[in-house]
Amino acid sequence: MHSWIETMYYNSYLVTDTELKLLKREETLDTILSLKDTPFVLCVTYSNKKHTAYKSTLNYNIEKFVVTTDLGDVVIERKKLQSILPTLQKWYNVVEGKENTSTQPTYFTKAEILNGSDNIHRIRQYGIEKYYRENAEIEKYRNTAFLNLIVHILNKKSNA
């Protein structure tokens, strides 16, 4: 049986005054968006192999807070997150008409979101003007720990 310290070693989690909630990657974004109580500690692991608890940050503000990851601290500003998240979710949305396929392809992969896409087929499918307009907005966040974290915890959406 694992101790709670071993559990925190391998998992993403939220700690408040009243709970320790282990998080699956798929739950993390919703957890961030629904934060209400302070103080809290939020840790996310990319690899499930590195300890985060000993270096975690205690947060007292839900508008600007630190998520401790195994790659370092990430500052989340709720206003920035809310401004870019709708675009990221549209880009990682299942392509219209492909909702019932086994692969459920998205308009863009997570790698394309992080680095930009040169796949003209995907860009046309999404909308050329819309892609370049939205890409200019995302470009402001490229190569940042903030975008890396948000894309890591982004969940595939389907309109079906």
Residue 30 pLDDT greater than 90, yes or no: yes
- How do residues 121-135 score in pLDDT, each as one tens digit? 999 999 999 999 999
pTM: 0.88
Q: In the chain, what are the domain boundaries?
A: 4-70, 79-153
Averaged pLDDT, 92-120: 92
Please tell me the predicted confidence (pLDDT) of residue 99: 86
The H helix count followed by the E strand count for the chain is 7, 5
Residue 136 pLDDT greater than 50, yes or no: yes
Please tell me the predicted confidence (pLDDT) of residue 70: 87
In one-letter notation, the amino acid at residue 14 is L
Residue 54 pLDDT greater than 90, yes or no: no
Averaged pLDDT, 26-55: 86
- What order do you get walking across the sheet with 12-16 strand by strand? 20-23, 12-16, 40-44, 64-69, 72-77
Residues 6+ apart with CB under 8 A from 135: 116, 117
